Amino acid sequence: MITMLDVAKKAGVSKATVSRVLAGNSYVSKTTRDRVFKAINETGYRPNLLARNLATQKSQSIGLVVTNTLYHGPYFSELLFQTATMTEKYGRQLILADGKQNAQDERQAIEFLLDLRCDAIIIYPRFLTIDELDEIIGLHDRPIMVVNRKLKRHQQNCVYAEHQRYSCSAISYLIAQGHREIAFITGSAGSPTSDSRLAGYKQALQLNNIPFQKERVIEGAWTPESGHAAGQQLLQRNITFSAVVASNDDMAIGAANAFTHAGIKVPQEISLLSFDDIPMASFFTPALTTVHVPVAEMIKNTLERLVNMLDGDTVSPLTIFAGDLIVRDSVAPGPWSS
């Protein structure tokens, strides 16, 4: 096995000099660094990264914790793509840790990244509570940013979108289009994003003096299959509705498929509105009217904050992201349109 000593002999320097080069020590001359890296390439030496991280307390890596319940679908792809792209821009590696199925698993994933000496950590939580996230941030010196949750005690360490507000605004648009009997497909039970979007639905009904009817609410699971099943359930219930709001585009596409199979036209007979604005939304027929959630902007802001924290710079004030309604073809005037 090739060792650091072999590299040192090949480069004609001391073992300590090789160690300083690998640690990024700026006091080593460029000529010496070049000789060391040439020797590394020629010998095929691979440094023990964990040992180096322990010694330097730096790994040039950013950790990301995401539970595997979110891996399915284009939203996660967008989240991961944007995080990887921005991490690369800042010259660091991205390390993904699986938050699995509960709060304890999420906590262990965070501890795993801390043990790897990641320079900073991004958490996209599913199970940990706000109080638990605040506690974790308070216990560690390394920068930790939470995406998609509003923290109480560490608001400079979070980036989030106002799901309830933009949901209320989107459903109010439906109501303004003449829809009063509006069904709603939720996301997975216990999802904070799903709960907030459902709260926005209820708020819009209340603001417009429309009674809330629980029979018009169906639980989904973020997938097209669950949206299809929810669409079928709505049609089987003895209720009337002129519009359906799905908590994400995937479920909207599934619901539209169920309506089409039942011989019901979208939007002529049932209007459809959703959230996220995934790439497929504009290519689906009819093109989905949906709320654009600025994932790219949120991740960019998150990484900028982390890098500023690492550099000891002042962190910018908290930015709250708004969703923008993108009006396309899946909503038509309703029965109460003027």
SS3 for the chain, per residue? CCCHHHHHHHHCCCHHHHHHHHCCCCCCCHHHHHHHHHHHHHHCCCCCHHHHHHHHCCCCEEEEEECHHHCCCHHHHHHHHHHHHHHHHCCCEEEEEECCCCHHHHHHHHHHHHHCCCCEEEEECCCCCHHHHHHHHHHCCCCEEEECCCCCCCHHHEEEECHHHHHHHHHHHHHHCCCCCEEEEECCCCCHHHHHHHHHHHHHHHHCCCCCCHHHEEECCCCHHHHHHHHHHHHHCCCCCCEEEECCHHHHHHHHHHHHHCCCCCCCCCEEEEEECCHHHHCCCCCCEEEECCHHHHHHHHHHHHHHHHCCCCCCCCCEECCEEECCCCCCCCCCCC
Give the mean pLDDT of the chain.
Answer: 89
Look at residue 58 and tell me whether its pLDDT is greater than 70.
no
Are 134 and 151 a contacting pair, CB within 8 Å? yes
Identify the domain containing residue 131 by its residue range: 61-160
Residue 33: inside a domain, yes or no? yes
Query: Quick one: 214 and 270 in the same domain?
Result: yes
The whole-number average pLDDT for the span 96-113 is 93
Is residue 211 included in any domain, yes or no?
yes
Of 218-222, 285-289, 300-304, 323-327, least confident by mean pLDDT is 300-304
Q: What are the φ/ψ torsions at residue 112 (nearest 5 degrees)? A: -60, -45
Is position 245 within any domain?
yes
Q: What is the CATH number of the domain that holds 48?
A: 1.10.260.40
Q: Which of 16, 37, 56 is the last residue of a domain?
A: 56
248 and 275, same domain (yes or no): yes
Same domain, 236 and 201: yes
**Does 20 lie in the same domain as 104?**
no
pLDDT at 64 over 90: yes
| Domain count of the fold of the chain | 3
pTM: 0.79
Provide the pLDDT confidence category of residue 248 given band limits of 50, 70 and 90.
Answer: very high
What is the structure's pLDDT at 49?
54
Which of 160, 184, 214 is the endpoint of a domain? 160
Structural domain contains residue 331: no
Q: What confidence category does residue 78 fall into, taking pLDDT thresholds of 50, 70 and 90? A: confident
Q: Are residues 97 and 50 in the same domain?
A: no
Higher pLDDT, 255 or 303: 255
Question: Does residue 298 contact residue 147 with C-beta atoms inside 8 Å?
Answer: yes
Question: Is residue 308 one of the residues assigned to a domain?
Answer: no
Considering the domain architecture, whether residues 65 and 137 belong to the same structural domain is answered as yes
Q: Same domain, yes or no, for 23 and 67?
A: no
Q: In terms of domains, do 92 and 193 share one?
A: no
Identify whether 155 is part of a domain.
yes
CATH code of residue 215: 3.40.50.2300
Query: Does residue 183 belong to any structural domain of this protein?
Result: yes
Determine the longest span between alpha carbons in the chain, in angstroms: 86
| 150/169 same-domain check | no
101-123: average pLDDT: 92
Instruction: Answer whether residue 16 is part of any domain.
Output: yes
**Do residues 179 and 263 share a domain?**
yes
pLDDT computed for residue 54 by the predictor: 45
Q: Kindly state whether residues 72 and 188 are assigned to the same domain.
A: no
Whether 51 shows a pLDDT value over 60: the answer reads no
d(CA 165, CA 179) in angstroms, rounded, equals 19
Say yes or no: 246 and 214 in one domain: yes
